[in-house]
Amino acid sequence: MPELDSQPTIGALLDRNGVSRRAFMKYCTAMASVLAMPPLAGRAMAEQLRAAHRPSVIYLSFQECTGCLESLTRSFAPSIESLIFNVISLDYDDTLMAAAGHQAEEARDQAMKANYGKYLLVVDGSVPTGEGGVYNCAAGRTALDILTDCARGAAAIVCVGTCSSFGGIPFANPNPTGARPVSDIIGDKPIINVSGCPPIPEVITGTLLQYVTLGRVPELDAHRRPTVFFGNTIHDRCYRRPFYDRGQFAKTFDDEGARSGWCLYELGCKGPTTYNACATVKWNDGVSFPIETGHPCLGCAEPNFWDAGSFYSPIPTPRWGKAGEVRPAEAAELAIGAAAAGAVIGAGSVLLAKHRTQRLQTPGQDSQQDSPKKEV
């Protein structure tokens, strides 16, 4: 496995593959646009990228459904082949690589050794820690062991998907495998979370590209997500937002409001509390995104989205009923119970007060002894 610095630069690789300068500039301008950079940033990005060495990337898959990798392979800008052949050196990915078994493990070990301290570790899936991590093993080693080992020599870690970023579905109550996000386990490395279930393909590739271009971790939000993609809520950028502002809501999935494309807030849309680029970058080469197809946002890019009540309950719905959200009958039950308790407390306090008053007013009772003034 060649060392990072001994690898050809991205520019040299492009020249070798016959990619014209014009095509590369177009590509960089498009990427700068996706990354919300200024128009002239495309040129700077092209210069930076041409001079950069392809970083070694080790892609680990743990407790996940492979949806994130499926998403990544559907990236249009840059495409997965463009990414792994031109921008990064994908040295280990047990799903995509041709090698298997010991050969695959050897490839990873060689890449780690050759690029110690410089490689980029991409993690997909949460890490089970229950029972010593036995719920997820490969080549006789637990995910916990592999992650700790691989993280030691990584320059940075990119967590792809909500599972590796925040625990995701395996982390959901009751979390039988003791699943944890990467950030709970690794504390001494820069971590970039690219959340989503799955994340938008261009957000994954864009984040990797941004890292290669900048040569450092980009600006992150409080959840360590790149602000360039996670800086706004879906609600803020949603094309249905004017309907929300006008108070026009679809009440069911087949009413006049739904057919007219009105806001899906009352059908449980979590767009107002979800930070992601779905409404701008969209999916399938910018064709559409869930809300555009008529379904509310599930809030999959946010921590604990699976335990946040029904996907079809509006955001302000109280959450303390048996079904995860309060039902009118349950609210009435609780109100009646609390009111009964209040009545007992109220009546009790009045009776106690009356009893005390009576004792004070009755001559020859203990109250006289309590009152030294009267004795005097």
Partner 1 sequence: MTVDLVNFARGPALKAAFIIFFIGVVWRLVNVLLLKHTRDLSEPRRGVAASLLGGLKAIGSRSWPHPEFIPRTGAGEALGYSYHIGLFIVILFFAPHVAFFGSFVGLHWPSLPNSVNTIISVITFTLLLAVLFRRVTHRVLRRLSNFDDYFSWFVVTLVIVTGLMATAHVGGPYPTVLGLHILSFDLLLIWFPLGKLMHAFYLFPTRAIDGYLLTRRGAPS
Q: Where along the sequence are the contacts to partner 1 (CB under 8 A)?
A: 222-223, 233, 235-236, 244-247, 249, 251, 265-266, 272-273, 275, 299, 302-305, 307-309, 313-320, 325-328, 331, 334-335, 338-343, 345-347, 349-350, 354
Q: Select 78 or 309, whichever has its Cβ closest to partner 1.
A: 309
Nearest-approach distance from CB 276 to partner 1, in angstroms:
13
Per DSSP (E only), the strands in 134-190 are 137-138, 141-142, 154-160, 179-180
Nearest-approach distance from CB 296 to partner 1, in angstroms:
13
Nearest-approach distance from CB 101 to partner 1, in angstroms:
41
Q: Select 23 or 340, whichever has its Cβ closest to partner 1.
A: 340
**At 226, is the secondary structure helix, strand, or coil?**
strand
Q: Select 86 or 126, whichever has its Cβ closest to partner 1.
A: 126
Distance CA 37, CA 218 (A): 12
> How is residue 53 written in tokens?
């060495």
Q: Select 81 or 219, whichever has its Cβ closest to partner 1.
A: 219
Q: Select 15 or 266, whichever has its Cβ closest to partner 1.
A: 266
Q: Select 188 or 245, whichever has its Cβ closest to partner 1.
A: 245
Q: What is the amino acid identity at position 154?
A: A
Per DSSP (E only), the strands in the chain are 56-61, 89-93, 119-124, 127-128, 137-138, 141-142, 154-160, 179-180, 191-194
Closest CA to 117 of 4, 281, 280, 251: 4
Nearest-approach distance from CB 290 to partner 1, in angstroms:
18
Distance CA 305, CA 322 (A): 18
Nearest-approach distance from CB 161 to partner 1, in angstroms:
17
Distance CA 126, CA 182 (A): 7
Q: Select 108 or 225, whichever has its Cβ closest to partner 1.
A: 225
DSSP readout, 20-81?
Answer: -HHHHHHHHHHHHHHTT--TTHHHHHHHHHHHSBPPEEEEEE-BS-SHHHHHHTT-BTTBHH
Nearest-approach distance from CB 297 to partner 1, in angstroms:
12
Per DSSP (E only), the strands in 251-353 are none
> How is residue 121 written in tokens?
């570790």
Nearest-approach distance from CB 278 to partner 1, in angstroms:
16
